[in-house]
Amino acid sequence: MLTVVLSAGTLVATLILRTRPHPTAGRRAAVVAGQLLPALVCFSTVGRLWLVPGALLLAATALTVAVAPVAIVRAIGAAWPGVLTVAAGLCYALAAAGTDGALRGFGLAAGLVVAAVPWIANRSGRAAWVVLVLGAIPFAAVTWWALVTPFVCVLALIAGFTTIHGRRQTTECPTPSSKPVPATSRLVEVTAA
């Protein structure tokens, strides 16, 4: 089931890239993550049957990066806390896949909620805080015996805090009201006077 869900995520990521004629570097980086994660994870879930699809996905990821490698690296570098928060949410979802019954659904929901924090932070910092805490802490408390989930909880809280704090700072920064004047035009004004 995990393989089907991850493959569907890859399909969605690739369709996003295909429907946008000129995607931004951030969108292209998200597509790379959407292609790379299933390509690597499914090697362990499917086994030999994944050799051909996995190799094709890795090639598609390499081609996606080859179009604009510097822009993708800059986009990931500028948004690393958000990327780490989403990765922590996906780790929660993967940890939940190994459980049974209601705990599986609870863990999947917690993982998806934590992964949504960077997008919620764009709208409201307080709502993002509530979602982060309600998504990360309860699942770690319920699965405290597994050392991975409390560690991922701490990682999610640190990365989520950094994401929310960074979004708040960028939205509170004043924007210049006029277009900046190029240095060459100022030089002409000084020499003309």
Number of domains within the chain: 2
Per-residue pLDDT, 169: 57
Specify whether 9 is located in the same domain as 68.
yes
Question: Is residue 191 included in any domain, yes or no?
Answer: no
Per-residue pLDDT, 130: 92
In terms of pTM, does the model score above 0.85? no
Question: Is residue 183 included in any domain, yes or no?
Answer: no
User: Alpha-carbon distance 95 to 148, whole Å?
Assistant: 8
User: Alpha-carbon distance 191 to 193, whole Å?
Assistant: 5
Enclosing domain of residue 45 = 1-76
User: Nearest-CA neighbor of 111 among 75, 79, 177, 155?
Assistant: 155
Which residue among 38, 54, 76 closes a domain?
76
In the predicted model, residues of the chain with pLDDT beneath 50 are: 171-193
List, in order, residues 6 or more apart from 99 with CB less than 8 Å away.
107, 143
Per-residue pLDDT, 1: 67
Specify whether 86 is located in the same domain as 62.
no
